[in-house]
Structure 1
Amino acid sequence: MKVIVAGMPKTGTKTMGAVLALLGYEVYDWMENFYYLGDDWLKIKEEGGNISDFRRMYKNVDAVVDSPACMYWEELTEAFPEAKVILTLRDENKWYQSIVRQVESLSNDLIMKCLLAFTPMGWKCLTYRKFALGLLGNRNYWPWSRVTLFNEETMRRMFRKHNDSVLTRAPKDRLLVYRVNEGWEPLCKFLDVEKPKGIPFPHKNKGASVIKELLKENAVMKIAERQLYTSFAMMLLVFAMAIVYFFSFFRIF
């Protein structure tokens, strides 16, 4: 592990994932965490974990962003003492408006509901429900019922508490406090890598567009899409067989 992005969701984490990938890092966002490491994270949530668990889980991963890694940023820094920590920040009012808009978007997205309900990837990602309350103060009842939020004060308090914890507890010599609108320069300097030539700084998940972007670009989501097609094909096959059986039954009698 080389980079731990400790910022909360909707502080530019999708952008950070894209940026780090462009810089050559193997990045685990929430999709990769729950698809490849869902069982490990569930065990950590219910029974606790230790440094050896995190070292095993991320031995071939360069960077982590978003949930659940941001919740365990301190444990990850203990497991990987050479890793650099990036706290992505955002104006609190804009963050709150954005997180509510994202939750609303996910609650109403039919594709996301189907992926969660009818694919193995989706079932693993539903593990996120066990983390949502501790991360944002909300209860997540996906896939079919709506996500219900706690009150605004609770979410804002959790946002401030998380940021203050990173600012006060992260090793100062390995910490970058960063806003994605700062672009390549401070990030590349902190990571000691060359700024990509001719590549504009990406900005992902604008206007809660994450599902469309992920279906186009993310390998795990593409796997889930194929799984969804397979599930629908199997359901159609079962339905067709049931129709054939139904009419055959009545012809007999």
Structure 2
Amino acid sequence: MIPIPDPVIHYLYGLPPPTSNKRKEPMQVLAVGISRSGTDSLRNALHILGFEHTHHGFDTILPPSSLEGIYRLLQKKYNTEPIAGQSSKLTAEDFDTILSDCVGVSDLMAAEFALELIAAYPNAKVILNTRRDLESWYSSMQQTMGYFDKNPIDWDWFKSWFSADLFWIRQTMCRTMMPRFFRGSFHSNGKWVYEQHIALVKGLGLSKDRLIEWSVEDGWEPLCEFLGKSIPQQEFPDGNPPKAWAERISNTMKTHHERAIRNMLVFGACLIGTLVASVGAYLRYLSPPEQ
């Protein structure tokens, strides 16, 4: 398939920009573990502790209002020259186009831009949320985020060209973020990329008061101690099992798919109308009225 230039993509499928990209509160928490490492439970826990709002993948997919902006960040990260005198191509101003209303960020976006986020927000605490069982993590990813590891030319692919929301889910997640992060294929490279990501963050040499390695099994105590918060009386939030993840995505995506089908029908009706009018004009041209 011939790639479409970015200016054309943004012209055809541009979504309304954020109402504001001016940060209201300092960024406080960067949870840079990969998806399915307790990201949803951790995000909910951070909200309970007062770090609200913490950005999560659900903020991009449900609805996909920030995916176009994330795509721009990915393009700047991978397709632009380094900035002289700067360790990162991306700055806090770049990230605030997506995260200006957030005091925390988690899930795949945080993992994808982990090094850049850590450099952009030097005062934010860093949580490296991990999953102790690599095989369980891989299986959970296959059942959930594995959906974005594929870009088959199927009915959903066809519909994505008739809905800006569906288009950016496909363009950002399936065609850019997942293949970039997992070096071409989650199925083939997921496990070693996961291990490399953990080693990369730990290898930054951040101090213990800035970085903690944590898993859901650790619960409240080490997390609260690290963040300087009192331990809540309630139990640690439940996880987000694959079945619940799929249902949540499906229920919301239904609206996008319905809009795409509506747009397809309108486009088809206009196309047929144009063809009928053109054929009629051509036939009249071939058979001019008798004088």
* TM-score, length-scaled by structure 2: 0.64
Distance 1:236 1:68, change over 3 A: same
Q: Could you tell me whether the CA contact under 8 Å between 1:86 and 1:176 is conserved in 2?
A: yes
Partner of 2:239: 203
Residues 1:9 and 1:52: Cα distance change in structure 2 (over 3 Å): closer
Q: Which of 48, 51, 56 is the aligned partner of 2:91?
A: 51
What amino acid is the match of 2:165?
A: M
Selected match of 2:53 from 26, 29, 48: 26
For residues 76-98 of structure 1, the C-alpha deviation after alignment (integer angstroms, 9 at most, x for no partner) is 12211110111111121212222
Query: What amino acid maps onto 2:187 in structure 1?
Result: L
- Which residue pairs with 1:67 in the alignment? 108
1:171 Cα shift?
Answer: 3.3
User: 1:129-185: CA deviations, max 9, x gaps?
Assistant: 22323422344xxxxxxxx732xxx43222111111212313321112111133333
Q: 1:184 aligns with which of 211, 215, 220?
A: 220
Alignment counterpart, residue 229 of structure 1, candidates 239, 258, 264: 258
Take 1:112 and 1:62, find their aligned partners in 2: how far apart are those partners?
35
* Structure 1 stretch displaced more, 81-90 or 43-52: 43-52
| Counterpart position of 1:219 | none
**Greater percentage in helix:** 1
Matched, 1:38 2:71: yes
**Is the CA contact 1:54–1:76 (under 8 Å) kept in the aligned structure 2?**
no
Please, which of 119, 122, 141 is the counterpart of residue 99 of structure 1? 141
Identify if the C-alpha distance between structure 1 residues 52 and 10 changes in structure 2 by more than 3 Å, giving closer, same or farther. Answer: closer
Question: 1:63 Cα deviation (Å)?
Answer: 1.3
Q: Deviations over 1:46-94 (max 9, x none)?
A: 2162325445433432111122321322221221111011111112121
Change in Cα spacing, 1:85 to 1:10, as seen in structure 2 (3 Å) is same
Give CA-to-partner distance per residue, 1:170-226, whole Å, 9 cap, x none: 33211121111333333233223345555651311x12542422466xxxxx5x654
Structure 1, unmatched stretches of 5+, are 140-147, 217-221
Backbone CA RMSD of aligned residues: 3.6
Aligned residues: 234
- Distance in 2 between residues matched to 1:208 and 1:46, nearest whole Å: 36
Distance in 2 separating the partners of 1:210 and 1:81? 32
CA contact (8 A) 1:71 1:135 kept: yes
* Pairing 1:84–2:125 present: yes
Of residues 163, 180, 197, the one that matches 1:119 is 163
What SS class does the counterpart of residue 30 from structure 2 fall into?
strand
Matched, 1:168 2:203: yes
Task: Quote the residue 2:34 is aligned against.
Answer: 8
Instruction: Give structure 2 stretches of 5+ with no counterpart.
Output: 1-26, 61-65, 83-88, 285-291
The alignment-based identity, stated in percent, is 21
C-alpha distance in 2, partners of 1:165/1:36? Answer: 25
Counterpart residue number, 1:143: none
Match of 1:131?
177
Task: For 1:242 and 1:35, locate their aligned partners in 2 and report how far apart those are by CA, in whole Å.
Answer: 28
Structure 1 length-normalised TM: 0.72
8 Å CA contact 1:118–1:228 kept in 2: the answer is no
